Structure 1
């Protein structure tokens, strides 16, 4: 009935919407994470284009003052060096973006500047910015990839250049194709005695033991309060080498006490962009190191630095604060902030126990686009030690790092255990509406009569079935679709339980999909059914972010150059493609509380949820600081008790003017805006069950 009703609603809206669709809009199907169905929505015909522009991260990079200034200093040195050789300074700027580096080259005396940018919205924008700054005749913009450029009379360049400036790096350094970009440029676009900015790069790795980070990688067995093992992780999952995929993270936000340093930071890989040595696209190195202390070597923390100029006078480091060359103390975080270049964690295929002063051998590998690491206490290494690890159990393919950490969250699981112990007996037949909730198998161990799991995600369903088989649980039926539920005999179901969690969810309230699934099966169950959770409470707080707001902050100007056209481009595309609320792991982005927490809305998950829920109010700014964001989260009240709350928000009480401690195993919602001195923020919230829509607006 639910699906039929939803289709009727969609058909009605389709007919109404089509009358108002402008020639610039199109009508498409889009997954609604709230309902789990594909909705018909009106969308700008260039939506994908605008989304790519809005999320291009150029603004974040241009707010990085240190980066900008180090690039300019290196350009100045390169141009002066060419002139001292009696040669004109002919600059090639690969991936120019807004044209900032090209304009810097002109300002520092370049004789000729050619810039290429394959992303057409940006190449057009760069031309407007050159016009705005009166440099349209000094820089030639070519809307192509550098690998498509040709040199010659009829080519894009009349002659080869002798200075290359480019920024083609990501958190992994080489993930955007830096190796092939530099190699092609040296072979086809640059003179032999050219100068390259940056000149070279070095990757650093630090072997650590970090139980907090390991929670994002390995699942743990489940124990009760008496430390008796209830559910065991299958061997195939315990012994899985995991995934080599980079875990990019703001390492500086990890508590310094949360990890044990096994080795000091070590230079493990060097990349020479200057062309003086051959480019190597696949390589392995081994560093023999002494362990600083006893512990379990679980992973490496990784970052890199760029030597910007040929004299090594200007170094750009992406190190966390405890290893940063410019940090005044290992206990301070006063270093340049970057979100475009973070640090990374790479997990070892297996933990290695080490003793103080023991020799360990760190293996560092890369191919053209990615890195991976391993560790051994012996130099007798098999070929397997160098192989890029691949998940063999399905867990690391099924779940994000955040989700794995969530499954290991002891506090969260204790709340579920308490509900189980209070309500489950030998007459309990339980239906779980969630994905990958293997903790639910505890119910069988507590004596439940029958368990049903509706898990519509193929990969998480396979992981769940591995747990069922390994723990020899017989009274479980796993269902794939709502239609399978309808075919099953659910007359005896007397408990419906959800975490809730679904892989399609992005914003905190998207897990209200539990409500829709529950509503769709109400006619399939009879009698008195207990439903958990019973309420969804939406909360908000006004904040002052230290840095996160910069990813949406207009530039105005950058290093003395006007950037109005760029700001307009980003703003227009963002208005078309972005929602007011986006998801971010706020524990990585420090912010001060400027208001008390405000309850925005309360949604009853048991009854009365069919009515339109609309609320409005204000968030009063009670701390004297400029506001640049509103953070939002939900609390799932399992049993209408203050002690039965599973929160996706702060882990400690919010204190005005103090840094908020956010849950590390979920993402929160956030609305970002330019810093403002304001007294309050007004808001409007609505939840329309029939249309499957949540809206949060503010002014």
Structure 2
């Protein structure tokens, strides 16, 4: 219930290139972290799961008032139903987290409540939260520091329960071992005729045609990479906020309505493997949208449908969003099979994996970015002799292949293996002193988290005497914004449904302060925000040592700052991933940002190549 979903965690790991090695079950672990400026790797010993807690963005779930009210109503209904039958209401809450659902059960009059939480910091927090709310509780809550499949009747619970309450769902519904959790509880911990909250769930699918989303999966460089569109790609789901895609522009519906794909009854044993078939009158689809609904009880449901399907009933969430599957050309038929396993879904009857190699080497965001690559722009940066030696600085780019068509000698210096297998020419021994060496970069480095980390290009080009390098400089710009919803992932909860969650706020706040830099990274094209001001901060080039600027936040309601680069290639040629006409950013890219919690602040922005972007916030 607490940590990032498997899907969301896989997404961030792929984008961030961050690894983690656990040393012991409790207390400490080493994290492998890349310096965003130098690209060098270092190992850091961290204690008490602080990084796991800080990364969880769990507050968004507790800010989801629609979810909280739906659970409260359904739990109250289940307790009333059981008591209406003349029976004691005995609740089992699996993965209790803050203890919120158990407190709802207690306030609703449950006779006995047993909650389990195996994550030690959250177990401790649940004890504090329930103690802080004891005046609202009608019955004692027993919180057990174990996994549900470790619970034993007669040891941890005196007898079986008859109301099962849990929230072990992720974006794909089943990715947090939901099926095994329910199946074990139903067999080992519950009475035969138990009630479940939620009671059922249904996964829906809708086929669409989307050249935009297809570009996250295949490369539009047919001369070299046509095979990527026939490749099944990554087996992991591509989760994203579908609500920020525009029907009729970013995609077209192929099937007119969402179709039920898989149904889950949480009071019965759930199949761990099954196949569903989707029928379509046409094969002109490229992707499948997937999302789910929970039936909490006879009168209440929770929907993860995107806004273009829910319209007036849409509720924004980040902890549960939607996902899509790219359909390879060879599977686009009038009948499409999707298989559900115990943890995920895959196309066809057997799980297939990437056979072209690029999907294993490149993130989906990078693939999309390469499809927007303006190859002629880079080929025309230098209009002089094609006899020059060319040095390409950067990673994961097909540009050297195109440069080789124009120049006789092209060398590549990157930070890792080239997924395009370009045969780099040897760099001439006097390259560093060659005044005619042509140096070109997008720039892009695989260890970068956002465009600001690609500023490391200037530290690498500085060693060459040639002045014939591109880009020449970069302007760091800042937007002061009002996020519509995204700020909730870092906002204090305070109270929800009448329950005080201050101990949880203290836990999250302390963990974030202890391990997280104030600057974080998000794919902001997926999130709505209003721009208040645009600020030019400073120009970065090979001569930059340290720069500093102050931003005074005066607009009421500003809750975030977004930082991005505008690259200058000389002669008026500039590039940026900010799209001013749409007031958003290019799809597939990540941006640097900070969240602000105070109404008026003075923000000090500093940059140097040793520490990257550094932010200090103080009361104005």
TM-score by length of 1: 0.80
SS in 1 for 2:293: strand
Q: How far is 1:663 from its partner?
A: 1.7
Residue in structure 2 matching 1:652, options 580, 585, 589: 580
* Corresponding position of 1:96: 96
Q: How far is 1:337 from its partner?
A: 0.8
Is structure 2 residue 300 aligned with structure 1 residue 304? no
The RMSD of aligned alpha carbons is 2.5
State the alpha-carbon separation in 1 of the partners of residues 138 and 82 from structure 2.
24
* Corresponding position of 1:504: 447
**Which runs of 5 or more residues in structure 2 are unaligned?**
1-26
Q: Is the contact between residue 200 and residue 307 of structure 1 (CA under 8 Å) also seen in structure 2?
A: yes
Q: How far is 1:423 from its partner?
A: 3.3
Residue in structure 2 matching 1:464, options 420, 436, 443: 420
Is structure 2 residue 306 aligned with structure 1 residue 320? yes
State the alpha-carbon separation in 1 of the partners of residues 187 and 109 from structure 2.
26
Distance 1:490 1:448, change over 3 A: farther
SS in 2 for 1:594: strand
* Corresponding position of 1:534: 472
State the alpha-carbon separation in 1 of the partners of residues 93 and 400 from structure 2.
56
CA deviations over 1:98-149 (Å, ceiling 9, x no partner): 0000000011110001110111101100100111111496101111110111
SS in 1 for 2:530: strand
SS in 1 for 2:506: helix
Q: Is the contact between residue 116 and residue 144 of structure 1 (CA under 8 Å) also seen in structure 2?
A: yes
State the alpha-carbon separation in 1 of the partners of residues 43 and 294 from structure 2.
48
* Corresponding position of 1:416: 378
- For this pair of structures, how many residues does the alignment match? 587
Distance 1:617 1:554, change over 3 A: same
State the alpha-carbon separation in 2 of the partners of residues 560 and 415 from structure 1.
58
Residue in structure 1 matching 2:237, options 214, 227, 246: 246
Distance 1:564 1:664, change over 3 A: same
Residue in structure 2 matching 1:388, options 351, 359, 371: 351
SS in 2 for 1:464: coil
Q: Is the contact between residue 37 and residue 612 of structure 2 (CA under 8 Å) also seen in structure 1?
A: yes
Q: How far is 1:696 from its partner?
A: 2.4
SS in 1 for 2:193: strand
Distance 1:630 1:438, change over 3 A: same
SS in 2 for 1:568: helix
State the alpha-carbon separation in 2 of the partners of residues 25 and 349 from structure 1.
43
Q: Is the contact between residue 94 and residue 117 of structure 2 (CA under 8 Å) also seen in structure 1?
A: yes
Is structure 2 residue 202 aligned with structure 1 residue 208? no
* Corresponding position of 2:328: 349
* Corresponding position of 1:86: 86
SS in 2 for 1:515: helix
State the alpha-carbon separation in 1 of the partners of residues 58 and 28 from structure 2.
27
* Corresponding position of 1:193: 193
State the alpha-carbon separation in 1 of the partners of residues 230 and 103 from structure 2.
53
Q: How far is 1:531 from its partner?
A: 0.9
Give runs of aligned pairs for residues 95-244 of structure 1, distance below 5 A. 95-134=95-134, 135=137, 138-152=140-154, 155-221=155-221, 232-244=223-235
Distance 1:478 1:494, change over 3 A: closer
Distance 1:40 1:290, change over 3 A: closer
State the alpha-carbon separation in 1 of the partners of residues 52 and 138 from structure 2.
26
Q: Is the contact between residue 99 and residue 130 of structure 1 (CA under 8 Å) also seen in structure 2?
A: yes
State the alpha-carbon separation in 2 of the partners of residues 343 and 202 from structure 1.
13
SS in 2 for 1:627: coil
SS in 1 for 2:289: strand
State the alpha-carbon separation in 1 of the partners of residues 324 and 218 from structure 2.
14
Q: How far is 1:273 from its partner?
A: 1.0
Give runs of aligned pairs for residues 25-64 of structure 1, distance below 5 A. 30-38=33-41, 45-46=46-47, 49-64=49-64
Give runs of aligned pairs for residues 489-528 of structure 1, distance below 5 A. 494-519=437-462, 521-522=463-464, 528=466
TM-score by length of 2: 0.89
* Corresponding position of 1:269: 262
State the alpha-carbon separation in 2 of the partners of residues 576 and 130 from structure 1.
25
Q: Is the contact between residue 590 and residue 660 of structure 1 (CA under 8 Å) also seen in structure 2?
A: no
* Corresponding position of 2:394: 434
SS in 2 for 1:256: coil
Q: Is the contact between residue 98 and residue 566 of structure 1 (CA under 8 Å) also seen in structure 2?
A: yes
Q: How far is 1:452 from its partner?
A: 0.6
Q: Is the contact between residue 297 and residue 352 of structure 1 (CA under 8 Å) also seen in structure 2?
A: no
State the alpha-carbon separation in 2 of the partners of residues 486 and 304 from structure 1.
58
CA deviations over 1:172-200 (Å, ceiling 9, x no partner): 11000000000010111100010011111
Is structure 2 residue 339 aligned with structure 1 residue 340? no
Is structure 2 residue 550 aligned with structure 1 residue 617? yes
Distance 1:201 1:414, change over 3 A: farther
SS in 2 for 1:616: strand
State the alpha-carbon separation in 2 of the partners of residues 593 and 234 from structure 1.
38
Distance 1:619 1:25, change over 3 A: farther
CA deviations over 1:510-568 (Å, ceiling 9, x no partner): 1123223323x53xxx6x44111111211101110110000001011111001111111
Is structure 2 residue 467 aligned with structure 1 residue 546? no
